[in-house]
Structure 1
Amino acid sequence: MKITYTALVYGFISLFLSTSCVQAVFSEDAFVIDWQLANLGPWEKIIPDARDRNRVLIVSNSTETSSLVSSFNISSGQILFRNVLPFAVDDIQLDSNDHNILVCVNSSSQKWQKFDLHDWFLLDEGVSNVPATTILPPLSYPNDQVIIKGDGLHVLDKTSGLAQWKLELPQGFDKVEYFQYEDPLTLVLNVNHTQYIGFSVNGTELIPVWQREESLTNVVDYAVLDVFDSRDVELNEDMKAEVFSDSLWDAYWLRLTTNGNRLLNLLKDNHFSPGRIFTKVLGLDSKDTTASDLKFGFAKILIVLTNDGFIGGLDMINKGQLVWKLDLQIDQAIKMFWTDENHNELVVFSHDGHYLTIGLTNNLPIIKSRSSLPVKKNVYSVIKLEEHQYQYLIKFDNANHLLFTLDPRKGMSASFPFLFHSGSRMFITEHDSDGIYGYIIENDLIKDTWQRIVTPKEKIVAYDKRGETNLNSLGITLGDKSVLYKYLYPNLAAYLVTNEELHTITFNLIDTITGEILVTQKHKDSPDFRLPTDIVFGEYWVVYSYFSSEPVPEQKLVVVELYESLIPDERLSNPSNLVCYNPLTGNVNKPQFLTKQFIFPEIIEKMTISKTTDDITTKAIVMELENGQITYIPKLFLNARGKPAEEMTNNDKKEFMATPYTPVIPINDNFVITHFRNLLPGANSKLISITTNLESTSIICDLGHDIFCTRITPSGQFDLMSPTFEKGKLLITIFILLVITYVIRPSVSSKKLKEQWLIK
């Protein structure tokens, strides 16, 4: 077949268009895709360091059981180190025998800890018998040196008393937080109670050198707002305009004029330079990653709600930069929900029974309404109901419930997953440390259905329900091509119960419709109830953690996998008969399970499961450790069917991604996603996973005292290309090869013809 020049050109154009539509995420280095907001919280006490005028000690974020003490460079605004003390600090003094040693004291309990001032190394601690100390007076600036007149601040000269420096006070000025006249002169202003601005002298002016925002501390809830490419929005509007055109000719003319205007704008934006246009069209300028961030779903606004009633929007691709902040002026916020599918409005509930609706116009928040619940009681929890539009299930501290409906005229709608619904009925499961409770909502009435109450010596310490996932396979294909079918019954929850009397911890799997316990297993290796426990529920498996004291103290990880049957190729559920999955008639096949226990080298605080768009990527168990680090383990390493390497048969080894059972799981440095950051999660932190448009990539965030986010790829970067990949050179090379092929093809054809007809 003869290749014409026109066909060659069309082929190259098609190749160019197809490759120009294929984009990839470039490799990122550590500290580029991840970011941290290291918070101090509102400052309570400031104590200058006599050895270094640039350093101060700050006491902040105090509760009844803890305080945060930080060493802070007051000149640069840099945190040098932070330490959480296990008691509320009300006094900080110097050791009488060594002024390089600091003593932190709680006067009521007489608890104290002694630290080295240089590196904050703990030297000693105790209760009562507080060491002899030298009292450090609280910081106060001389009133005769700093004077506030109207909207201005004046720093007076010590000798003459005249104004040496003047400063216009920022809007929202609250007070002078810190002032140091001696070289270097340092001034810190408190703005809006939570913002701190540091000033220094530049010639005859006081200029701001650093700024800290401390309002987004102690996060209690979050929401994610996707940022869309404006070009996609314009394209959708153009398509809608074409659909509503009066005729085919009008639609064609609209498209022609629109594309003509875009071409003209492209020429103007690039100053009619062919080189710039060629570079932009080919995408050779890799410095601008905005388009790829939008395309791959990395461009998001993380909206966080704090316990103190602040809400803030953080740009997730710009190092968590604060885009906007709003003081809701409520006490103890507890929950936040989107009220519509387009994510244009939020509703926030507070512990004292208030709720607010917040509209987002051009991604900026506006408080639209503020009101109180009809029942004036303290709110314990809020659940949003999906099938019952505009409704929320409110639970109060006294365990009573309220089915609350928002005014639909305000544009409210609902979207929240639930466990089970049938017709007009909805089944809800709640829990606390004393029990698990089942309810049914029918005809706007709440009825109790079942409850599991633990004994006074028992306590529920961890709970998780089976989440909604995309089903990609019904079973596990074994090495001999047989199948173990997963147990995919949706209405399940798992929880852990500690027993102080028997000194045991028990795992239970429960049917959330009937309250029937389907699986239970008890651990008698002397669990340490002082240390944290947690549990996560995946597609057909559960992973939980606890710390045991026998035979030796060690952190345990336990995996439980649920199957319809442990006999390969035996499927008990009938896909054509949905009655078999009706818990109300008792037609539910109970699961059969396998379990394995592993040892982990660090104490685990919290866990979550990585999420991706289509749930094809291997799941990872993301863990927040006691030392402040965050790491993860691919689920395939936690295999309940795993065998020691010497016991694996040939069929076992043929199984896809088969791994031998190793009782000890080491920490892989490549999986420590916080690197060497000093992360303070806080007591009630949330470890979350956010999906992106890339199946390989999941965003992991830890929200609490600090805010930390990064990206992980549990199955590797299978849709990620190297930053050295040069698409332009590749296209040019392909074009040259096509030209060479076109040029030499006649000579090759002539040679073949001669070989057939000429006689040697």
Structure 2
Amino acid sequence: MQRIYILTKIFNILSLQKHYKAKMRFIQSFWLSIIIHVLKLTLVKAVYEDEAYITDWQLQNIGHYNCIMDDPPNNRFFVLSASDQDDEFSKLSVINQLTGEVILRTNLKYKIVDSMIDINETMLVLKDKSGKFISFNTETLFEIEILNEFENFKTSCTEFDPKLQHNIKIIDNEILFVEDAKDTLRITLPPKFQKIEFLSTDNSTNLKVLAATEGEIYYYYSIVDNKLKTTWTKDESIANIVDYVFIDIKSTSLDSVAEQIKYETMSSSIFEAYLVRISKNFNRLSKFLKENNYNPGQILTKLITFDNDDDEAQYLIEQDMKFGFLKSLTVVDSNGRISAIDVMKGLAIWNIETELNNVIAMEFNESEGNLYVFAANGLYKSYKISNGMLMGKSTEGTLSKNISDDVIVEKLERLGNSNLYYVKISQSNEKLVVDLSKKKGVEDTNNIDKDENTIYICDHDSQGVYGYIINQKYQIKQSWKHNLNENEELISFATKDTDPIVNIGVILGDRSVLYKYLYPNLASYIIHNNDSNQLILNVIDTITGEILYSQVQNDVFDSTSPVTMVFGEYWIIYSYFSNEPIPEQKIVVVELYESLIPNESKSNSSMTIDPTEGIFKPSAITAAFFFPEQIKQMALSHTKFDITTKAILLELVNGQLTYLPKSILNPRRKPEELMTDADKKEFMAAPYIPTLPINDHFVISHFRQILSGKNGKLVSVPTNLESTSSVCLLGYDLFCTRITPSGPFDVLSPTFEKFNLLGTVILLVTLCLFLRPYVASRRLKTAWFVRG
């Protein structure tokens, strides 16, 4: 028996040695690949200043240059400009002559007609159209004083005229000569040269020139001692945005997979399709193993690392495409210039002149790949777009044969995602429905409100709100209207947000539910009573025109300040500035519920509602908050599935951009002393505090000052990451960034402890490898009833 035991022990040892030798080669390759990967992940990389703001960018514009003043000691230009020729106020900017960078900008409260710079006194004197003189400090641009008269005023604004300067010649709009008895200075002018905005020379060896082209691109040249010292370009063409579209740039790496899926769907049976997929995947695996010489370490390294920087850069581009970050922001200005901009970097992709005057709108039909640009005279052009890039030539058309050259289109609105457009003519107040597709009929449209081929439209102007019905023959009939009184004016209008609905109720702290009022055909508008200076909020049914809810703000409204409003899933938020009883910016939130009694619902999933027969009215809860800054406009954040907490985007009058989470603007918040234990258990519960401070972490414009102009547009578009939304402010300036209102919950943060995670995984794998023989030995001993 002892002999059998010894032989068995020797056999086990020999078997384990062979087992260990076979595994050691795999373990060495495995450890080597893991060490390489850990070193790559744990290397420390510095973050430089130019990399600190990789998620946002800004295009700063100055506008039409009206006057340029030279400040040689400080290498600066002072520029008086306007966003357009009819702008009632001027802008004052300071530009670095060496780089073209905008140092300072400020909006003036005057229309400036002349100016003088006094370098010795560090003072800038501006003359407005009323004849008054305003002095500014040249270092800070702070206003010093306003005077009715100013002695020794001498203009510093001098337009260049080659007829008055005989030693300066421009030949064929290509070359500028400055001739002297000794020297000749020569500069090649830019393509499409239009005029010289500024010229300064000593008629000897020094020259400064700022030239403008037809596309509002400015070129600066500086010659010192007959040598070209400084040159830069400033593009002012992408400004005064009229309309915009976002176009997703999709990855082509999945085209082969799409072809395979298409082939599988055409298979005669599911088993044949499955066999095709297995064979293709097996061929891919065999090819991959052969390329890596069947080496486990090399295979693992290939899976978790990159061979070179080019592969890594391409991977990052593909990742941005998959995440939905890579988009083309296509904008059009009033002069008809279309520009496509990379949303991630702010770089121009392509641009084109449409040669259309007074452009009013632009739309993109994704299913057809057509980009439409519409002018006020009824003309439009169509461009073919493929994956964000311009393809081929444009086609022209007219909205209607009945539109003549002297007709002005006041409003153009696309109906859902169809090719139908609602057109309103300003002179005759005529309404048209235009179909730009080859197929006729409402049945070819989608994502529009329709009932038996009937489309409902809700329109408004400053004097009322109107409802229209469009039948299958494109005939428009007015179904209802709300005309305002002579002393009233409609100052804000919002339709209900169409994002997906995640849940139908709000769960309270005691686990009961308040059911949201989710009727889709809603709009809200605010009326200003000019006599009492009060604001009136109305919520209406856009199908029948019935007023479902109304409330009055009794404080005195400041009619010179902006009023803005958004309509979310079941709530309305609007802001205004009041003079009495307290001069403050106020934010009012109204939430609509089916009932204020918990667990009481007036609708169910099997219930069908006919809007024309009316609908039950909502119950509302409202509250007001104070905000420390004046709000210019508001917008809602949008995500792919609308699971992320809604953010209320705010553009402030001071040029900053911030946001407030919707959970803060909760009208059911109570003072802390009135909160019950159940109230405190509610998700995101917080006591009511009337003042909302500005959280520095929510100021997404950072240090930047953004000038959006009077027609600026604040927009948000979803990405493929539910946590992330792209936000842009388009107008006089262009600014884009990304926000994560609920945090980047679907993306690993840079501070994620990869080393600890990898260390834990490696330790577990190592323990498994070394404990397995021990467990096998114990089992063998147990089987032979061996002690010890």
Shared fold, TM over 0.5: yes
* Gap change, CA 1:644 and 1:413, over 3 Å in 2: same
In the TM superposition, residue 117 of structure 1 has moved relative to its aligned partner by 2.0
Aligned to 1:529: 559
1:582-627, CA deviations, whole angstroms, 9 ceiling, x for partnerless residues? Answer: 22112x1110000011000111110011111000011011100010
Q: Which moved more, 1:52-61 or 1:552-561?
A: 52-61
SS of structure 2 residue aligned to 1:720? coil
1:326 deviates by 1.3
d(CA) in 2 for partners of 1:620, 1:278: 36
Is residue 541–residue 548 contact of structure 2 (8 Å, CA) maintained in 1? yes
Q: Identify which of 464, 470, 474 aligns with 1:435.
A: 464
SS at match of 2:580: coil
2:342 is the counterpart of 1:315: yes
Query: What is the aligned-residue identity percentage?
Result: 35
Shift in alpha-carbon separation, 1:202–1:322, aligned structure 2, 3 A:
farther
Tell me the residue number matched to 1:179: 199
State how far apart, in whole Å, the 2-side matches of 1:35 and 1:339 are.
27
TM-superposition CA deviations, 1:622-652 (whole Å, max 9, x none) = 1000101011110111111111111111111
Which residue number corresponds to residue 359 of structure 1?
384
Query: Among residues 192, 205, 226, which one is paired with 2:248 in the alignment?
Result: 226
Deviation at 1:459, TM superposition (A): 0.9
Alignment of 1:383-462 (within 5 A): 383-386=413-416, 389-398=418-427, 399-408=429-438, 418=448, 420-443=449-472, 444-462=474-492
231 and 209 in structure 1: CA distance in 2 versus 1, 3 angstrom threshold: farther
Q: Does the Cα contact within 8 Å between 2:206 and 2:225 map onto a contact in 1?
A: no
- Matching of residues 711-722 of structure 1 within 5 Å: 711-722=738-749
Deviations for 1:24-58, whole angstroms, at most 9, x for unmatched residues?
xx999752201100111232332323654542424
- Is the CA contact 2:420–2:436 (under 8 Å) kept in the aligned structure 1? yes
Write the letter of the residue equivalent to 1:507.
Answer: L
2:661 maps to 1:661: no
Cα-Cα RMSD: 4.0
CA gap of 1:749–1:240, structure 2 versus 1, over 3 A, is closer
Amino acid at match of 1:478: L
For residue 134 of structure 1, give the secondary structure of its aligned residue in structure 2: coil
The reply on whether 1:597 has 2:648 as its aligned counterpart is no
Q: How does 1:250-649 map to 2 (within 5 A)?
A: 279-280=305-306, 289-318=316-345, 320-341=346-367, 344-361=369-386, 363-364=389-390, 366-373=392-399, 374=401, 375-376=403-404, 377-386=407-416, 389-398=418-427, 399-408=429-438, 418=448, 420-443=449-472, 444-578=474-608, 581-586=609-614, 588-649=615-676
Report 1:111-122 matches (<5 A). Answer: 112-122=133-143
TM-score, normalising length: structure 2: 0.84
1:48, 1:139 within 8 Å by CA — same for their partners in 2? no
Tell me how far apart the structure 2 counterparts of residues 58 and 50 of structure 1 sit (CA, whole Å). 17
After superposition, the C-alpha distances for 1:308-338 in whole angstroms (9 at most, x for unaligned) are 22111111122x1111111112222111111
Is this contact kept in 2: 1:555–1:603, CA < 8 A?
yes
User: Is the contact made by 1:68 and 1:83 (CA closer than 8 Å) also made in structure 2?
Assistant: yes
Describe the superposition over 1:105-162 as per-residue Cα deviations: whole angstroms up to 9, x where unpaired: 333x445533222221112347x6677622224142764554333574254453424x
What TM-score results when the alignment is normalised by the length of structure 1?
Answer: 0.87
Q: Does the CA-based 8 Å contact 1:686-1:703 persist in structure 2?
A: yes
Contact 2:595 2:618 in 1 (8 A): yes
Distance 1:251 1:667, change over 3 A: closer
Q: After superposition, what is the alpha-carbon deviation per residue over 1:221-277, rounded to whole angstroms, capped at 9, x for unaligned?
A: 11001111221234324544666699979988877888889999999xxxx999788
1:547 and 1:553 in contact (8 A); partners too = yes
Contact 2:513 2:599 in 1 (8 A): yes
2:725 alignment partner, one of 681, 693, 698: 698
Distance apart, 1:530 and its partner CA: 0.7
1:555 partner SS:
strand
Structure 2 letter corresponding to 1:59 = S
Distance in 2 (alpha carbons) for counterparts of 1:273 and 1:746:
26
AA partner of residue 446 (structure 1): I
| Between 75-84 and 473-482, the greater mean CA deviation after superposition | 75-84
Q: Are 1:165 and 1:205, in contact at CA under 8 Å, matched by a contact in 2?
A: no
Conservation of the 8 A alpha-carbon contact between 2:528 and 2:535: yes
Q: Does 1:123 align with 2:149?
A: no
SS of the equivalent of 1:627 reads coil
Within the alignment, does 1:79 sit opposite 2:107 as a pair? Answer: no
* Rg larger in structure: 2
Q: CA 1:728/1:231 → structure 2, altered by over 3 Å: closer, same or farther?
A: farther
* C-alpha spacing 1:130/1:556, structure 2 compared with 1 (3 Å): farther
Consecutive unaligned residues in structure 2, runs of 5 or more = 1-15
- How many residue pairs get aligned? The number is 733
Q: CA deviation at 1:739?
A: 3.5
SS at match of 2:352: strand
**2: CA distance, partners of 1:638 / 1:327:** 44
Superposition deviation, residue 743 in structure 1: 1.7
User: Would the alpha carbon gap of residues 243 and 727 (structure 1) be closer, same or farther in structure 2, given more than 3 Å must change?
Assistant: farther
1:413 & 1:485 partners in 2: Cα distance? Answer: 34
Structure 1 pair 147/365, CA: closer, same or farther in 2 (3 Å)? Answer: farther
Amino acid at match of 1:668: N
* SS in structure 2 of the partner of residue 289 of structure 1: helix
Q: Does the CA-based 8 Å contact 2:68-2:77 persist in structure 1?
A: no
| Equivalent AA in structure 2 for residue 695 of structure 1 | E
AA at the equivalent of 2:540: I
Name the counterpart of 1:147: 169
Cα displacement (A) at 1:529: 0.9
Residue 178 of structure 1 aligns with an amino acid whose one-letter code is: F
